[in-house]
Amino acid sequence: AILTCPLEVVKTRLQSSSVTLYISEVQLNTMAGASVNRVVSPGPLHCLKAILEKEGPRSLFRGLGPNLVGVAPSRAIYFAAYSNCKEKLNGVFDPDSTQVHMASAAMAAWTASWT
């Protein structure tokens, strides 16, 4: 969550941005003076640069606190469920077999999805 937070901020800004850049294209008819403008969305690097220049590096970690509050309990439930399922399934299947790991992971993911 900490490593991907800046990417999430940039992604969210790009998704919610109403800012468009107008880049002048080659003129269609130089005699008449007509030109064509096309709308170009700002790219991720442009957005990252703008955030750093206008708001500073700390702004790339906005929303990290609430994200961690949600991720930490979910991961704790996942690992607890995985461990418990694995312990119980080791008595049913060959201990530490592929079946034990796959079934434990599936049950843990299902359990964690309820949080």
d(CA 49, CA 57): 10
Buried b (16+ CB within 10 A) or exposed e, 4-36: ebbebbbeebbeeeeeeeeeeeeeeeeeeeeee
Q: What is the pLDDT along the chain (115 residues), one digit of tens a residue?
A: 899 999 999 999 998 875 544 444 444 445 555 555 555 567 899 999 999 999 999 999 999 999 889 888 888 999 999 999 999 999 999 999 999 999 999 999 998 787 6
The reported pLDDT for the residue numbered 23 is 40
Tell whether pTM > 0.75.
no
d(CA 23, CA 44): 17
**Average predicted confidence (pLDDT) for the chain:** 82
d(CA 22, CA 38): 6
